[in-house]
Amino acid sequence: MISVRGWGEANAGNLSLNLTETLTPHFGPGSWFLVSQTGSRWRHVARKPLPHFVLIRINGEGEEYFPATAKPTSEWSCHRLLQKHFLATGREDKVVLHSHPNSVILLSQMDFAKNEDNLNSRLQDALAELQLFLPDGVAITGAALPGSQQLALGSLDVIGSRKALIWQAHGLVCTGKHLDEALDYMEVVEKAAAIALGKFFLTKMPHPD
């Protein structure tokens, strides 16, 4: 889906799934996550998913990878902080999904998007259903290098109870209890962003005499 929509160019985007409840009874204590491998591509994941993921067990501050030679996405530090936040706050979210939707990336670079209230007002005006899916609105971070600790900490600072987070000039992160829910939010935010941009540019166009 992400590849078909053009939201995952080259090796863009990543995913983490909390499998702790499922795996702990069989494989021992710790927190278990299925995570995109670094360099994985959505077009390959769609055809044959498992070779492009790494299973990670966290015990204390240590991590163990299965297979041992696999490396998680460069943005695993952000996924890990968000997943830890969900556990600490009692959120039921198990999925963190990141992609690069075109309209969201463009919208995030508009001046009005620098103010979160203005951004959410534009998105809600553009698509009435947005508030039904995301009543707490959409969060946004400032620009930061992909995979950086600054991006990870900035995400944790603003996510709160929100299930959608825009990384300015970078992409969109959505969370959910399962993969379909996170993808639903992603589709809704991208559609709202596309309509909001269309409204903005149409109202700026000169009217014919």
> Under DSSP, is residue 85 helix (H, G, I), strand (E, B) or coil?
helix
What CATH number did the domain enclosing 140 receive?
Answer: 3.40.225.10
pLDDT (average), residues 15-38? 94
Residue 34 belongs to some domain of the structure = yes
Residue 95 belongs to some domain of the structure = yes
The Cα 125–Cα 61 span in angstroms is: 44
Q: Residue 134, class by beta-carbon neighbours within 10 Å (0-12 exposed, 13-18 middle, 19+ buried)?
A: buried
pLDDT at 205 over 70: no
Residue 159 belongs to some domain of the structure = yes
DSSP string for 110-133 = SGGGGSHHHHHHHHHHH-TTHHHH
Residue 57 belongs to some domain of the structure = yes
Residue 32 belongs to some domain of the structure = yes
Task: Note whether 194 and 106 are within 8 A (CB).
Answer: no
The mean predicted confidence, pLDDT, of the chain is: 93
Residue 2 belongs to some domain of the structure = no
pLDDT digits (tens, 9 = 90+) for 102-138: 999 999 999 999 999 999 999 999 999 999 999 999 9
Task: Note whether 153 and 84 are within 8 A (CB).
Answer: no
Residue 3 belongs to some domain of the structure = no
Domain that residue 199 falls in: 14-204
Query: What are the tokens at 123?
Result: 């998105």
Which pLDDT score, from 0 to 100, does residue 60 have? 81
User: What percent of the chain has pLDDT above 70?
Assistant: 98
The Cα 68–Cα 55 span in angstroms is: 9
CA angle 116–10–142, rounded 5-degree value? 20
Type of residue found at 56: I
Which pLDDT score, from 0 to 100, does residue 207 have? 52
User: What percent of the chain has pLDDT above 90?
Assistant: 81
Which pLDDT score, from 0 to 100, does residue 206 have? 60
Residue 127 belongs to some domain of the structure = yes
Beta-carbon count within 10 A of 174 CB: 26
Per-residue pLDDT band for 77 (boundaries 50, 70, 90) equals: very high
pLDDT digits (tens, 9 = 90+) for 31-66: 999 999 999 998 888 888 889 999 999 988 789 999
pLDDT at 204 over 80: no
Number of domains in the chain: 1
Q: Give the lowest-confidence range in 163-167, 179-183, 200-204.
A: 200-204
Query: What are the tokens at 181?
Result: 């829910």
Going from the C-alpha of 65 to that of each of 26, 31, 44, 117, the distances in angstroms are: 17, 12, 21, 40
